[in-house]
Amino acid sequence: MFYITLVVLFKIGALRRYFIGWGTLCALSLVACPLLDAYAAEYSGTRWFSLLSSLRLLMLLDFVPLFTIGFLLYMIKTGTGKRWQNMLGILIACGVFHSIDHGKHNPIATVLIVTLVTLCAYGKMPLLRIRPLIYISTISYALYLCHNNLGCILMYRLNHSGIPANISFLMAVAFSFSLAIIVTHRIEQPITNALRKLWTRYRTKREPDSVPAAIS
């Protein structure tokens, strides 16, 4: 649903005025996440609270500030917009992130992550260009989904069935990587390629027919 929201913002032109688009999403995160956390104890069993909590998860509201930071870093790298405005937006997004997570993440860790991503974007981390790490980056999104939603559950189940914690951890890691590889190559990449082809056809149809050059 988060990506559907991005497509809608793109279609209405909000991502061209990206401070409006991402600012709206960050404001929604800043308001919705603390409110839902505040009322969780009292209304956690109600239908409307479950619906809003599901929307929160589907729209990745807890992670919108991190997406915003990544987008603004890309804007800085490509020279889009004013640098100071993009940097200010990054600082605001960091503030929103730490506001909605109730201090669960260390601000120093966020600064280090932003610094690392920036160095990578500008090619200042040659160590990360080795083939195994490049391949991990290829499956990183599927791995992110699998390790948290399935890997942790598997590790919990294995550990509670009597398997030692270290073995449970290694089995969960192997399972998460294997599933991420399958999802990337059998689901994510085919869908991405199909969408890219559809987008290319759409752009081609929208382009005005070229006027034949006059023959002198």
> Model confidence at 216, in pLDDT bands (50, 70, 90)?
very low
The CA-CA-CA angle for residues 63, 130, 80, to 5°, reads 45
Q: What is the pLDDT of residues 184-206, one digit of tens each?
A: 999 989 988 988 888 788 778 77
Model-level pTM?
0.67
> Model confidence at 177, in pLDDT bands (50, 70, 90)?
very high
Q: How far apart are CA 162 and CA 156, in angstroms?
A: 10
Mean pLDDT of the chain: 82
Whether the predicted pLDDT of 37 surpasses 60: yes
- Domain ranges in the chain are 1-127, 130-205
> Model confidence at 106, in pLDDT bands (50, 70, 90)?
confident
pLDDT given for residue 171 in this prediction? 92
Taking Cα atoms as reference points, which of 75, 77, 91, 81 lies closest to residue 26? 91
Spatial contact of 165 and 194, defined as CB atoms under 8 Å apart:
no
Whether the predicted pLDDT of 104 surpasses 90: no
> Model confidence at 1, in pLDDT bands (50, 70, 90)?
low
The CA-CA-CA angle for residues 22, 27, 28, to 5°, reads 100
Taking Cα atoms as reference points, which of 174, 172, 182, 178 lies closest to residue 149? 172
Average pLDDT on 167-177 reads: 91
pLDDT given for residue 210 in this prediction? 47
Q: How far apart are CA 169 and CA 158, in angstroms?
A: 9
Q: What is the pLDDT of residues 63-73, one digit of tens each?
A: 888 888 888 88
Residue 158's alpha-carbon distances to 1, 29, 143, 166, 178, in angstroms, are 32, 35, 20, 10, 17
